[in-house]
């Protein structure tokens, strides 16, 4: 097949080469993502999990994004001359196979352009834009599609989006499977101050490990991210409440199918007694003010999972997350 001609295949088949995949997530929840992926994990690294042959990678809830790995290249040094090695690595990519693998993983075809997002750790005499333009220009030429440089702003929708990460002297070149990052949920049409990053909400729910039939309650639900993520777990009854009626209205608007039970209530006088698990990111008088009689220390359930500021220590199992410059702590309390 010539470059520029892309054919799809129906699914994973006997005798097919393994599909190499990499998923990105937040620092601190890589192991939760690895646990969600399960048996085919090959490597867990900084903000990423490498795995293979996963039939439905677009269904991963704790990943920010997921890519088919096209190639890895070593001996990528720190000077501009090394950009030629990156260009050579692009020329060596088996594009037919990479795009075939992307289709098998659920990627749509008929993309109308190419864009590239790059990151490089360590001091180098070239910038991320230099990497993007070298890789993107070459890919666009091979695919016979226009290249959209990020120097000119955000690329248009419906591009084939590539990612290049250079760590030490090794570069990974990968293509996004979905049209947009997985963390951008279809349901999230509105938010409130302090609204949670959806993959982190999904990770909190996984750490709560609700069983079928369990009531999972978020007493400070804001825009409803946690209960909406929880409602996707088979058999779980998800309930969300907030003291602010406007927040509950936003949560309802994010849940048009009515998968969650919503209520306006003060968490200190909760309408839900006997929740099996509580999962929440309660306000701590920073970005969002505490109102009413909220005392998160008194939340009572078999398991309580809270996202709290670094300085608040309620005991239990703690793990720090890196969330866009903040470092909140996930606290898991078993009662
Ligand atoms: C950090 S936000 C939660 C964000 C939410 N997880 C989301 O994804 O949108 C905290 C929420 O707690 C609510 N809140 C403050 N005091 C409360 C109280 N006493 N009872 C219930 N909710 C309260 C605020 O109205 C706010 O919506």
Q: 196 CB under 6 A from ligand 1?
A: yes
Choose among 320, 332, 307, 258: nearest CA to 26: 320
pLDDT of residue 14: 59
Parallel/antiparallel/unpaired status of strands 113-120 and 159-167: parallel
Going by C-beta distance under 8 Å and a sequence separation of 6 or more, which residues neighbour residue 121?
166, 167, 168
Confirm if 139 and 94 have CB atoms less than 8 A apart. no
Dihedral over Cα of 84, 89, 91, 92: its sign: positive
CA of 283 from ligand 1 middle (Å) equals 6
Q: 228 CB under 6 A from ligand 1?
A: no
Choose among 289, 120, 267, 77: nearest CA to 192: 289
DSSP notation for 176-202 = ESSSS-TTS-TT-----TTPPPHHHHH
CA distance 91 to 138: 7
CA distance 214 to 112: 46
CA distance 123 to 173: 20
CA of 33 from ligand 1 middle (Å) equals 26
DSSP notation for 76-144 = --SSGGGHHHHHHHHHT--HHHHHHHHHHTT------EEEEEEEE-S--SS-HHHHHHHHHHHHHHHHT
CB atoms within 10 A of CB 149: 15
CA of 282 from ligand 1 middle (Å) equals 6
CB-side exposure of 64: number of CA atoms within 13 Å?
15
> Does the model's pTM come out above 0.85?
yes
Q: 250 CB under 6 A from ligand 1?
A: no
Task: Among 218, 221, 268, 271, say which to mutate for ligand 1: greatest number of ligand atoms within 8 Å of CB.
Answer: 221
CA of 232 from ligand 1 middle (Å) equals 21
Confirm if 241 and 214 have CB atoms less than 8 A apart. no
pLDDT of residue 45: 93
Q: 243 CB under 6 A from ligand 1?
A: yes
Q: 291 CB under 6 A from ligand 1?
A: yes
The closest-lying atom of ligand 1 relative to the alpha carbon of residue 282 is 10
Choose among 203, 186, 160: nearest CA to 62: 203
What are the chain's domains?
A: 20-176 (3.30.2130.30), 198-334 (3.40.50.150)
CA of 229 from ligand 1 middle (Å) equals 16
Parallel/antiparallel/unpaired status of strands 20-24 and 170-176: unpaired
pLDDT of residue 324: 86
Q: pLDDT 10s digit of each residue in the chain, 335 long?
A: 334 433 333 445 556 789 999 999 999 999 999 999 998 999 999 999 999 999 899 999 999 999 999 999 999 999 999 999 999 999 999 999 999 999 999 999 889 999 999 999 889 999 999 999 999 999 999 999 999 999 999 999 899 999 999 999 999 999 999 999 999 999 999 999 999 999 999 999 999 999 999 999 999 999 999 999 999 999 999 999 999 999 999 999 999 999 999 999 999 887 677 899 999 999 987 767 778 788 888 888 999 999 999 999 999 999 999 998 899 999 999 98
Q: 272 CB under 6 A from ligand 1?
A: no
CA distance 129 to 96: 26
CA of 221 from ligand 1 middle (Å) equals 5
């Amino acid at each position: 097949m010539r470059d520029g001609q892309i054919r799809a295949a129906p699914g994973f088949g006997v005798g097919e080469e393994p599909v190499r995949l990499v998923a990105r997530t937040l620092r601190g929840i890589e192991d939760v993502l690895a646990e969600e992926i399960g048996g085919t994990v090959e490597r867990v690294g900084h903000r990423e999990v490498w795995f293979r042959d996963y039939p439905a990678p677009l269904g991963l809830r704790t990943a920010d994004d997921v890519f088919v790995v096209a190639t890895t290249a070593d001996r990528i040094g720190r000077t501009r001359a090394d950009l030629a090695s990156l260009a050579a690595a692009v020329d060596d990519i088996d594009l037919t196979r990479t795009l075939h693998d992307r289709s098998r993983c659920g990627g749509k075809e008929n993309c109308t352009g190419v864009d590239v997002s790059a990151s490089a750790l360590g001091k180098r005499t070239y910038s991320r834009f230099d990497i993007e333009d070298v890789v993107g220009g070459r890919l666009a030429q091979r695919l016979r599609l226009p290249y959209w440089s990020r120097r000119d702003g955000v690329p248009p929708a419906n591009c084939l989006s590539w990612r290049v990460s250079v760590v030490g002297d090794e570069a990974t070149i990968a293509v996004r499977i979905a049209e947009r990052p997985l963390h951008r949920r279809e349901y999230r049409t509105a938010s409130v101050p302090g609204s949670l990053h959806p993959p982190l909400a999904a990770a909190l729910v996984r750490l709560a490990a609700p069983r079928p039939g369990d009531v999972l309650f978020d007493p400070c639900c804001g825009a409803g991210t946690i209960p909406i993520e929880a409602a996707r777990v088979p058999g779980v009854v998800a309930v969300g409440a907030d003291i602010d009626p406007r927040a509950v209205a936003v949560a309802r608007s994010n849940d048009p199918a009515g998968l969650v039970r919503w209520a306006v209530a003060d968490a200190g006088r909760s309408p839900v007694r006997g929740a099996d698990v509580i999962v929440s990111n309660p306000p701590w008088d920073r970005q969002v003010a505490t109102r009413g009689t909220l005392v998160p220390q008194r939340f009572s359930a078999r398991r309580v999972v809270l996202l709290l500021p670094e300085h608040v220590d309620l005991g239990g199992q703690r793990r720090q997350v890196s969330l866009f410059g903040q470092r909140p702590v996930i606290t898991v309390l078993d009662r």
